[in-house]
Structure 1
């Protein structure tokens, strides 16, 4: 982990275009944490495995606003979380066995990027946590959710990203 450096957005976009996981870090005055990120359109089982084992946090998919609502993933309760983390229903793609394996979560993420798939193609509750990006991206909410969707879009991928919080060795963020 000591080989990570702070880099420009252009360099980050090149890294994700090359299929590499990057770390998105938010402001010290916000959550002050880093999340692993890769565009959902190109996520592989080994990416999910790495994030879960090394990151240790929840593996989630950040989805652009329009797709999130087209799939009817919104939870019908008031969001009272400190940072308004926009969680939706966790889902699985309909063709998975249990939904929990890295292979199945990667498949679910890639299927979310396929707009020929509708809400009937996904099972809820499932094993991949969903997050809804704000329409205005990081300009509206400076969160990991919006950053991952914006970066995916800037890299010419579908506007959805797989993210996972990175925990310290002691289990703190």
Structure 2
């Protein structure tokens, strides 16, 4: 009997779409990297409250504003903590903008979520700041702060991390929960 392909949920909270695009890129690269060893990955927005119970592994991320994850991602982590602790989990944050080096601090929520979920890793990816996607009050803050504008996302780093995750998932047996498949 051939074991079922591992199912990976890639979910993220995003205010203006940039972090969802990172989740989409992770999903595509996870599937490509797995090749014939097989795994399936689904990118679902955290705002839609996906249930991780039907997945073998989870990649959970959020845009970071003022040092914190967005509420839909935090809420998903807390609501499904028992399920998430029972499977491989990776976390990612999106938010620093400008040219490296970025501030060394992780988002405030990273330590709390690491303690809650015991993830296999956490990555911080640079974000994107595009004034045309912002509300008038957000544009005013960006202008006042003289925040750097542009797309600073490092797609090579995103793809490389996806390969690391795919390798970890396809080279080791995943814990099986009764009735999961």
TM-score normalised over the length of structure 2 = 0.30
Question: Which structure's relative contact order is higher, taking Cα pairs within 8 Å and 6+ residues apart?
Answer: 1
TM-score normalised over the length of structure 1 = 0.31
More helix by percentage: 2
